[in-house]
Structure 1
Amino acid sequence: MADGKKIAILGAGESGTGSALLAQKMGYEVFVSDAGKIPEKYREELQEQGIVFEEGGHSLDRLTGAAEVIKSPGIPPTAPVVQRLKEAGLPLIAEIEFAGRYTDARMIGITGSNGKTTTTLLTHHLLERAGLKVGLGGNVGKSFARQVAAGDHDYYVLELSSFQLDDMYRFRTHIAILTNITPDHLDRYEHRFENYIDSKFRILQNQQESDSFIYCLDDEGTRRGLASHRPVAKQYPFSINEKVDQGAFLDNNELTVKTAHNTFNMTIAELALQGKHNLYNSMAAAIAAKVLDLRNEVVRESLGDFKNVEHRLEQVGKIQGIEFINDSKATNVNATWYALESMTSPVIWIAGGVDKGNDYSMLKPVVREKVKAIVCLGKDNGKIHEAFEEDAEIIVNTLSAREAVGVAYHLAAKGDTVLLSPACASFDLFKNYEDRGNQFKEAVKQL
């Protein structure tokens, strides 16, 4: 117990409020500070629990009186309040780091530029179907801290962003999954890919020889990271290009998983998630399941009946023979590449938003091959026009989901696909990617 030790929390969303509940339970004197307006449900929860908070700004004198600060991952290290707290010598940590101190559960941590949410949900689905007492947290579900405060689990499956990993120091993942590393959020990493790679590999810190590291052998960014980071845990690579001794690979349209104890096989046609990117996600989750010695029957059933996350290649409907797909969660170039690569019909591509330093060059070949027209959805579409002016015959600008869907519908013909896969953040026109996806789906319904 903390016995009245003071702790401050920056940000009062799900992560911050969960941290406050756990800190209070563990005997801390808690102060929550949010620069914006706290959402009503969290404000009420803090009030009900008698937790002191402020909103609309930060009181530095109250924050600097804390022994430790739990920081929301959405607050950048360059924020003035963060800089002032660092200057004052205060340790800043992530919610995951804090909550991890108060549980003895086995941790399955999943990170990567793309696929981490799907892989996290699929891994949780596998463990839950096996009858294990498992929690789901990190960037999905209820906050990890809230779950530890409410009642512990034997396992946690946690989706971990690079922003969370940056503020984690002693936390240990017993099973670490790295889906891939492609340039993303480089504005937070001095526009250096190597800095971002280093951030992702923080998931390996504190692992021991008895732990497991699951990673994509086919991913160039991961291979670059392995050249400078030496895992101590048992390694389980997965690949669709070559066979591995232990891990997962593709052999004549059959997914094979090998561990020291047994082998699991399943045809890719049986997988609930189709497409190359989802094959990788299924491989990673299946390895984790077999490392935990889950029965083959449970793994096969779970991989076959899983339903994917909303806003990720979500089929919205078909109108006049035109398919509409919501991939609003694709907020970087690599995620959009996977989406375009998986398309089997001509595409009207809705793209754009807040550019995070994107390099669109990797998309040019697939755009030339599959895209009939580009509908830009954002306030500043200059980079998209510049990148694809030689690859797409039609590029038009729109400023709302309804306008974008209407324009795309008129540009499409029977048998085409209208794909919202922005490759950009959403904050210029929308609250978040969920809001963007929901407005897209509503606009399709209105056609």
Structure 2
Amino acid sequence: MKPETTNTIRIKTPFKKEGRLVVLGGGESGIGAALLAQAKGYEVFVSDKGVIKNKFRELLNQHAIPWEDTQHTKALILNADVVVKSPGIPNTVPLVAALKEQGIPVISEIEFAANYTQANIVAITGSNGKTTTASLTHHVLKQALSVGLAGNIGASFAKQVQANNYPNYVLEISSFQLDDCFSFRPHIAVLLNITPDHLDRYNYNFDAYVASKFRITKNQTATDYFIYDADDPVITNWLEKHPTKATLLPFSLHKRIENGAYFENNTCIITIDNNQIIMPAKDIALQGKHNIKNAMAASTVAHLLKIRKQTIRESLENFHGVEHRLEDVLKINKVNYINDSKATNVNATYYALESMDAPTIWIVGGEDKGNDYTELFPFINEKVKAIICLGVDNKKLFENFQSMVDIMVETQNMSEAVKIAYKLAESGDNVLLSPACASFDLFENYEDRGRQFKEAVRNL
């Protein structure tokens, strides 16, 4: 499989490859888009309603790219030929609506950068597990290929296209990024799972969110591949009604798969065109059922790209996960402190609680995105001995869980939450930060929340 042949069929771009390009949002992806646009001959302007970080300001000044922050000057934006929008800006804001009314294309950094590379693109999405699976896939592929890691992780895709232009990319992609993709066509698309998340952004319409995730395969052809979880009824039901042209490679814990991956007798079996890789689950560094699925997805990608079987096995054995995802922090007085700050929705916390093998003190809470906590109830009853609510508004958590545990307290301070957990914990217990909520009520982002947790644990 030669990367240069994978994108020979091109979808017409929805934007002009010349003229004035405005970037809305001066973060990692926006600055990368600005640098790539300038390199491709656009007149570039960057506008951010918040404050642009000093390191990004310096980069813009260094490249003589005009910018503004703490405001959006309409006169400098509505004269664009194309707008690259940060995924954090909803399409419903008046400025974006005004751009669309004028017929000005509004696209994502992913869409923009993909038009300037002939690279072999592996795009990974899902409600949970994206970062782990993208990082694991990159870890396997980089043993044999020149490959970049971008999207929702690492340096921006556009910046890498401008500076390195790797022959291969692994992209972690959110639904927000996919919403502003129109011609984007990955050679290999991976859809890990779909559970209710970010529904506030989709008018609490789950079907709209599902449709957004499936945009990852929209432009694929029969020469491309779509890897997906065959155990996920939301995915399989949608595929029945909306078939993709791509070659299907499912993975499953419960069904035998002829072409794809499945799990049997504690062993992962990946088969593509009768060529098999067999991997005992005990040899996979990341444990838990969800990580077996992540490993099967990553291995299927690697198998497709002709990575040696031994290389795949060794990579799965020595990969040790990503920060803020079920990350072991410290063991103090035989109590294990675990940072799962990246669990920003109920399904991610489901996996975390499922993997707990000891009585657990659970730190939960934050900005609720319309959460339904019902699926967590069996784990609360079975594994959780105390709950510490860490959020501005914890009313919904008390309503759901107060009757299930003997101890339930609340705080708005991470250091205090960890000190309370320390007092409650006994030898052999786990203290788990797995918030099931967004972080923006008390923290800058989930990374800030996770790092504050780790710092508080180390200060005990």
Q: TM-score, structure 2 length as denominator?
A: 0.95
Deviation of 1:3 (Å): 8.2
Q: Does 1:412 align with 2:422?
A: no
SS in 2 for 1:129: coil
Alignment match, 1:80: 94
Q: Aligned residues, how many? A: 446
| 4+ runs deviating over 3 angstroms | 1-4
CA contact (8 A) 1:2 1:28 kept: no
Deviation of 1:138 (Å): 0.1
Alignment match, 1:246: 259
Identity %: 56
Deviation of 1:398 (Å): 0.8
Alignment match, 1:20: 34
CA contact (8 A) 1:2 1:27 kept: no
Alignment match, 1:224: 237
Alignment match, 2:390: 377
List per-residue Cα deviations over 1:316-362 (Å, max 9, x = no partner): 01111111000000000000000000000011000000000101111
List per-residue Cα deviations over 1:398-444 (Å, max 9, x = no partner): 11110110111111111110000000000111000000000000111
Alignment match, 2:128: 114
Greater alpha carbon shift after TM alignment, 325-334 vs 244-253: 244-253
Q: Give the partner amino acid of 2:181.
A: M
Deviation of 1:225 (Å): 2.1
CA–CA distance in 2 between the matches of 1:164 and 1:101? 15
CA–CA distance in 2 between the matches of 1:98 and 1:303? 33
Deviation of 1:394 (Å): 1.6
SS in 2 for 1:223: helix
Query: In structure 1, which of residues 57, 62, 68 is the aligned counterpart of residue 71 of structure 2?
Result: 57
CA contact (8 A) 1:201 1:229 kept: no
CA–CA distance in 1 between the matches of 2:447 and 2:100? 33
Query: In structure 1, which of residues 367, 388, 391 is the aligned counterpart of residue 380 of structure 2?
Result: 367
Query: In structure 1, which of residues 125, 135, 153 is the aligned counterpart of residue 139 of structure 2?
Result: 125
CA–CA distance in 2 between the matches of 1:76 and 1:3? 24
Alignment match, 1:396: 409
Query: In structure 2, which of residues 17, 21, 24 is the aligned counterpart of residue 10 of structure 1?
Result: 24
Query: In structure 2, which of residues 249, 252, 256 is the aligned counterpart of residue 236 of structure 1?
Result: 249
Unaligned ranges ≥5, structure 2: 1-14
SS in 2 for 1:207: coil
Greater alpha carbon shift after TM alignment, 189-198 vs 86-95: 86-95
CA contact (8 A) 2:83 2:105 kept: yes
SS in 2 for 1:237: strand
List per-residue Cα deviations over 1:195-214 (Å, max 9, x = no partner): 11000000001101011110
Deviation of 1:87 (Å): 2.3
Query: In structure 1, which of residues 332, 351, 354 is the aligned counterpart of residue 367 of structure 2?
Result: 354
Query: In structure 2, which of residues 429, 434, 446 is the aligned counterpart of residue 433 of structure 1?
Result: 446
CA–CA distance in 1 between the matches of 2:354 and 2:124? 24
Deviation of 1:227 (Å): 2.9
CA contact (8 A) 2:366 2:438 kept: yes
Q: Does 1:98 align with 2:112?
A: yes
Alignment match, 2:12: none
CA–CA distance in 2 between the matches of 1:351 and 1:228? 37
CA–CA distance in 1 between the matches of 2:307 and 2:27? 35
Q: How does 1:274-293 map to 2 (within 5 A)?
A: 274-293=287-306
Q: Give the partner amino acid of 2:254.
A: N
Q: Does 1:444 align with 2:457?
A: yes
Query: In structure 2, which of residues 436, 441, 447 is the aligned counterpart of residue 423 of structure 1?
Result: 436
Q: Does 1:198 align with 2:211?
A: yes
Deviation of 1:32 (Å): 0.5
Alignment match, 1:152: 165
CA contact (8 A) 2:16 2:81 kept: no
CA–CA distance in 1 between the matches of 2:17 and 2:128? 41
CA–CA distance in 2 between the matches of 1:120 and 1:325? 22
List per-residue Cα deviations over 1:245-282 (Å, max 9, x = no partner): 01111111111100005100011110011111111100
Deviation of 1:2 (Å): 7.4
SS in 2 for 1:213: strand
CA–CA distance in 1 between the matches of 2:100 and 2:206? 25
CA contact (8 A) 2:16 2:82 kept: no
SS in 1 for 2:241: coil
CA–CA distance in 2 between the matches of 1:58 and 1:119? 36
Q: Does 1:33 align with 2:12?
A: no
SS in 2 for 1:395: strand
Alignment match, 2:82: 68
Q: Does 1:332 align with 2:345?
A: yes
CA–CA distance in 2 between the matches of 1:27 and 1:228? 43
Deviation of 1:226 (Å): 1.5
List per-residue Cα deviations over 1:58-107 (Å, max 9, x = no partner): 01111111111000001112222212222222110000000011110011
CA contact (8 A) 2:412 2:442 kept: yes
SS in 2 for 1:328: coil
Q: How does 1:175-190 map to 2 (within 5 A)?
A: 175-190=188-203
CA–CA distance in 2 between the matches of 1:365 and 1:358? 16
CA contact (8 A) 2:117 2:161 kept: yes
CA–CA distance in 1 between the matches of 2:323 and 2:360? 21
CA contact (8 A) 1:378 1:429 kept: yes
SS in 2 for 1:70: strand
Deviation of 1:228 (Å): 2.5
CA–CA distance in 1 between the matches of 2:44 and 2:32? 12
Q: Give the partner amino acid of 1:80.
A: P
CA–CA distance in 1 between the matches of 2:130 and 2:17? 37
Deviation of 1:222 (Å): 1.4
CA–CA distance in 1 between the matches of 2:18 and 2:203? 39
CA–CA distance in 2 between the matches of 1:172 and 1:390? 49
SS in 1 for 2:142: helix
